[in-house]
Amino acid sequence: MASNIQVLIPLFVALPLAVSLLIQIVARGRPVMAEWLANATMLALVLMTCYAIGDTGLYHMGGWPTPIGIDMRLDALANLLLLAVSLVGFAVALYSVDYMRRFTARGHFYSLFLLMVTGMNGVILAGDLFNLYVFLEVAAVASYSLVAFGCAHEELEASFRYVVLGSLSSALILVAIALVYGITGTLNMAHMAGRIAETGMDAPLLLAFGLFICGFSFKTALVPFHAWLPDAHPAAPAPVSAMLSGVLIKAIGIYVLARLVFNVFGVSESELGLLRWLGILSMVVGGLLAAGQKDIKRLFAYSSISQVGFMVLGLGLGTPLGLVGALYHLINHSMFKSLLFLNAGAVEYATGTRKLKKLGGLNRALPVTGATSLIGSMSIAGVPPFNGFWSKLIIILACVESGYYGFAAVAVAISIVTLAYQLKVQRLAFFASLPGAMQNLRREPRLMALAMILLATGCIALSFAVLGGLRDPWLIGAAQEVLTAGVFE
C-alpha cells in the first residue's frame, strides 16, 4: 500500500500538468481531442482520489530526504480537499463539452483548466511554504486568464481587477514567507511548526501571521478583502465560475488558512477571535448584498462570500465540533455552489440572459436544470434533510457549545436570509409563467444535464455523511483530527 501511495502523490500534480501541456502539443485545432483528454484526466483524478481516501503519506521529491528536499504531504484533510477538487472538476469538465461549444480556442480552455487543477492539487499536497506559493500562483494565473476567457468588456475589466488584487495579495504572502523563513530558518511546514512551538509567537512572527491572514483573506474573499469576487466569478464562463466559487477559494484560501493557523502557527485565543469576526462580517455583508442582486450569477457570487463566512466562523471557534462543521460545510458548499453556477450557466445557455426579471417558468422548459437547482437551493439554504442543513446545524451548535450565543443567533438569521434569496431565484427564474419570448426554448444538452445530476447526487449523498454522528461525520471527522492534533510533529 505504502509504495502505491508514494507513486500516487506526485501524480496528483504531474498528471494534470502533463496533460495540459500535451493538449497544447497534440490537440491544437482539434478541440474534440482536447475534450476527451481533459475528461479522461479528471476521471482518472477522481479514481485516484477515491483510492487514496483513508491513506496518508509523505513523498520526498527526487528522493532527497526532508531537510534538503521538498516534501509533499497527504493526510486526511488533504484527502477531503482533493475529493472536492476532483469531483467538481470532473462534473465541470463534462459540462464544458457542450457549454464551451460557443467559444473559440477550446484547446486553450482545457489547458488552462487543467493547469488550475494542477495548482490546486499542488497547494493541497505541498509540504513546504514556498512550494505552496508556487502552486498557488499556478492556480491563480490560470484563473485570471480563465476569467478573461470571453474577451468581452466585462470579462476583461473583471479579470484586470482580479489580477491586480491577486498579485497584491500574492506579494503580501511572499513577504510573510520571507519573514517566517528569516525567523525560523526553514520553509518546511513541519519543521517551521516545531521551531515556532519552541520560541512562541514574538512580534516579527505576529507580523508575518498578520500578513498571511491578509493575503489569504484576499484569496478567500473574506469581507474587507472581497471586492474582486463579485466581478470575477460572474464574468467567467459558467464552468469556470463553478470551479472558482466551488473549489478555488477553498483550496487556495480556507484550506491554507486552516493549515497555517492550526498546524503551523498553533492556535491562540486572539488569533481565533480574528477569524471569528472575519467570518461573521463576511456572512452578514455577503448575505445581505446577495439578497439585493438582480443578476443570477452575481447573486450566487455574493452568496459564496456569505457561505465562506460560515466556514471561517466554524474554524474560528477552534473546537472539534466547530472544525467539523467548517470542513463539512466546505465540501457541501463545493458541491451545491458549483451546481448552482452550472444551473445559472444552463439558464444563460438556453435563454441568453442572466437577469432574474427577464426569466420565469423555466421548470417547464429546462426540467433537469429546474429540478437540480431546487436541490442546490434547498441544500444551500439549509432545508432539512439536505446536506447544507446538517453542516449549518453543526456550526450553530458549536457556537452555542462554546458559549457564543450572539454568533449563533447571527448564523441562524443569515441562514434565513440565505433561504430568502434562494427562494427569490426559484420564484423568479423557475416557477411562475414562461415569458412569451421564451416559449420555444430547447432543452439543456445531454452532457450538461448529466453534470448537473452528478453534482445534485453529490449533494444528496453528502447528507448521509452525517450518519456517522454529528461529531464525526464520514471522512470529515478524520480531517478534523488533523487540525485538532495541533502543530505538525
Output 134 or 420, the one with its CB closest to another protein: 134
* Residue-wise DSSP of 213-224: HHHHHHHHT-GG
Amino acid, single-letter form, for residue 263: N
Which region, judged by CB under 8 A, interacts with another protein, from 159-167, 379-387, 396-404, 427-435?
159-167
Smallest CA-to-CA distance from 408 within 399, 417, 416 is with 399
Amino acid, single-letter form, for residue 434: L
Output 186 or 334, the one with its CB closest to another protein: 186
Q: Which helix (H) or strand (E) holds 203?
A: helix 203-220
Q: Which residues ranging from 65 to 124 are in contact with another protein (CB under 8 A)?
A: none
Q: Which residues ranging from 119 to 148 are in contact with another protein (CB under 8 A)?
A: 130, 133-134, 137, 141, 144-145, 148
Phi-psi region of 232 (alpha: psi -120 to 50; beta: other; left: phi over 0): alpha
Residue 23 as a binder of another protein (CB under 8 A): the answer is no
Minimum distance from CB of 34 to another protein (Å)?
Answer: 21
Amino acid, single-letter form, for residue 133: Y
SS3 237: coil
Output 161 or 364, the one with its CB closest to another protein: 161
Buried b (16+ CB within 10 A) or exposed e, 110-142: bbbbbbbbbbbbbbbbbbbbebbbebbbbbbbb
Residue 204 as a binder of another protein (CB under 8 A): the answer is no
Residue 158 as a binder of another protein (CB under 8 A): the answer is yes
Per-residue binder mask for another protein (CB under 8 A), 440-469, x = binder: ------------------------------
Cα(268)–Cα(87) distance, integer angstroms: 34
* Positive/negative CA dihedral, 164, 166, 170, 172: positive
Q: Which residues ranging from 338 to 377 are in contact with another protein (CB under 8 A)?
A: none
Output 154 or 202, the one with its CB closest to another protein: 154
Q: Which residues ranging from 260 to 319 are in contact with another protein (CB under 8 A)?
A: 293, 298
Minimum distance from CB of 75 to another protein (Å)?
Answer: 25
Select from 21, 26, 50, 171 the one that contacts another protein (CB under 8 A).
171
Cα(163)–Cα(452) distance, integer angstroms: 30
Amino acid, single-letter form, for residue 168: L
Rg (CA), the chain: 21
Select from 151, 206, 409, 420 the one that contacts another protein (CB under 8 A).
151
Q: Which residues ranging from 205 to 264 are in contact with another protein (CB under 8 A)?
A: 230-231, 235
Cα(44)–Cα(27) distance, integer angstroms: 19
Output 282 or 369, the one with its CB closest to another protein: 282
* Positive/negative CA dihedral, 228, 231, 234, 240: negative
Residue 21 as a binder of another protein (CB under 8 A): the answer is no
Residues forming contacts to another protein in the complex (CB under 8 A) are 130, 133-134, 137, 141, 144-145, 148, 151-154, 156-160, 163-164, 167-168, 171, 174-175, 178, 181-182, 187, 230-231, 235, 293, 298
